[in-house]
C-alpha cells in the first residue's frame, strides 16, 4: 500500500531538489501517469515548468481538444503540431521495436526543440515502474525508456512516479484532485496508435484504428475494463452489399488487470461484441471483419506491438 500523502510530499521535494532554480518541461500526454507527474512538478517548481503536449497524429479521437480543456489552468501549456514529422518518420517501418525507437527519438527531438525555446534544462516524464520492467527485460521498449536515443540534450530527466504502479498513480491522482476523466482514464500507450497497427503505419490504417478504438472504448466502458481498444491486423476478404471487399481486419481487445504486468481477457457479452462489430464495419467501408482477442497476458502482451 502506498502512503499517498507521504509520497506527494517526497516527490515534490525530490523534483525541487533535482531541478533547483532551472527551468523544466513536462512531457504531457493526457494520460494519468504524465498528468500526475505534471501536477507534482507544478506543485514543486511552479512557473519554472512548461507543460508540452505533442500531437503526434497517433492519438485517440478528440485527444488534443481534451488536453486543451483539461489543462487550460496551466497558462504555459504548449501544444505542438507534429503529425507530419511522426508519421513521416514511420514511413516504411514495420518492425515493432524499430517503431518504438523511431517514436522515442522523435519525441525527444520535439522536447529538445521546446526546451531550447523555453530555456529549460530538465525534462519531466511520467515513466512508471512497469515501463522500466518491460524495457529493461527486453519485452518491449517503451518510448520513454528503452526507446530513448543515446544522445539526449537535457541536463537531467526527472521521473517522479518511476517506482509506482498504475493503480498507485491513480491513487495519487485522486489525492491531487485531478478530474476523473484523467484519474480513471484507460491506459493509452506512449507510441499511440502506432503499436495498435501491425506492420507499417499509414494514414488509412490510423483512421481505422482511431475510429475503431473510439467505438470499443464507448461500448465497453460499462463493463469496467482496465483497458479496451481496437487494433488493425491486416486484410481479409469480405462482402458488403453485392460487392467483394478486401478490407482491414480489426481485433478488439478488452482486459482486466491491476497494474498491467499481467492481464486477463474479459468475457464480454455477445450482444456487446455484436454492437462493436456492427458499428465498426457499418461506419468503415474498408473494414471487412472484426475479431475478439481472448488471449491473456502472458502469453500475449496487452498491446499488439
| Cross-strand partners of 156 | 122
Residue 48 per-residue DSSP state: G
137 annotated ligand binder: no
32 annotated ligand binder: yes
Distance from the Cα of residue 56 to its chain's centroid: 11
Distances (CA, A) of 125 to 88, 104, 228, 234, 274: 24, 12, 24, 33, 39
278 annotated ligand binder: no
72 annotated ligand binder: no
Closest CA to 55 of 184, 192, 182: 192
> How many residues appear in the chain?
305
4 annotated ligand binder: no
Residue pair 131/123 in contact (Cβ under 8 Å)? The answer is no
Distances (CA, A) of 282 to 18, 212, 221, 270: 53, 11, 20, 18
183 annotated ligand binder: no
3-class SS at 235? strand
Closest CA to 49 of 81, 74, 83, 68: 74
Burial 168-199 (b: 16+ CB within 10 A, else e): bbbbbbbbbebeeebbebbbbbbbbbbbbbbe
Closest CA to 196 of 286, 114, 293, 84: 293
31 annotated ligand binder: yes
C-alpha 164/C-alpha 167 separation (Å) is 8
Binding residues: 29-35
Binding residues for ATP: 29-35
Amino acid at each position: 500500500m502506498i502512503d499517498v500523502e507521504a509520497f506527494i510530499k517526497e516527490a515534490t521535494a525530490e523534483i525541487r531538489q533535482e531541478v533547483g532554480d532551472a527551468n523544466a518541461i513536462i512531457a504531457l500526454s493526457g494520460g494519468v501517469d504524465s498528468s500526475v507527474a505534471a501536477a507534482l512538478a507544478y506543485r514543486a517548481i511552479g512557473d519554472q515548468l512548461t507543460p508540452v503536449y505533442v500531437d503526434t497524429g497517433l492519438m485517440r479521437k478528440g485527444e488534443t481538444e481534451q488536453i486543451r480543456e483539461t489543462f487550460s489552468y496551466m497558462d504555459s501549456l504548449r501544444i505542438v503540431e507534429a503529425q507530419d514529422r511522426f508519421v513521416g518518420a514511420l514511413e516504411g517501418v514495420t518492425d515493432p521495436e524499430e517503431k518504438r525507437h523511431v517514436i522515442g527519438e522523435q519525441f525527444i527531438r520535439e522536447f529538445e526543440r521546446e526546451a531550447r525555446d523555453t530555456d529549460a534544462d530538465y525534462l519531466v516524464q511520467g515513466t512508471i515502474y512497469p515501463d522500466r520492467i518491460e524495457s529493461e527485460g527486453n519485452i518491449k521498449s517503451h518510448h520513454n525508456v528503452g526507446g530513448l536515443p543515446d544522445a539526449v540534450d537535457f541536463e537531467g530527466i526527472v521521473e517522479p512516479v518511476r517506482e509506482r504502479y498504475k493503480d498507485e498513480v491513480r491513487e495519487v491522482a485522486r489525492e491531487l484532485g485531478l478530474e476523473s476523466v484523467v484519474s480513471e482514464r484507460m491506459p493509452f500507450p506512449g507510441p499511440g496508435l502506432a503499436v495498435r497497427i501491425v506492420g507499417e503505419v499509414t494514414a488509412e490504417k490510423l483512421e481505422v484504428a482511431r475510429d475503431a478504438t473510439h467505438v470499443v472504448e464507448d461500448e465497453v466502458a460499462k463493463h469496467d475494463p482496465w483497458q479496451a481498444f481496437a487494433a488493425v491486423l491486416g486484410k481479409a476478404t469480405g462482402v458488403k452489399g453485392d460487392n467483394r471487399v478486401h478490407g482491414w481486419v480489426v481485433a478488439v481487445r478488452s482486459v482486466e488487470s491491476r497494474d498491467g504486468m499481467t492481464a486477463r481477457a474479459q468475457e464480454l457479452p455477445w450482444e456487446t461484441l455484436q454492437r462493436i462489430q456492427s458499428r465498426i464495419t457499418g461506419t468503415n467501408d474498408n473494414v471487412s471483419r472484426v475479431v475478439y482477442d481472448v488471449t491473456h497476458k502472458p502469453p500475449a502482451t496487452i498491446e499488439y506491438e
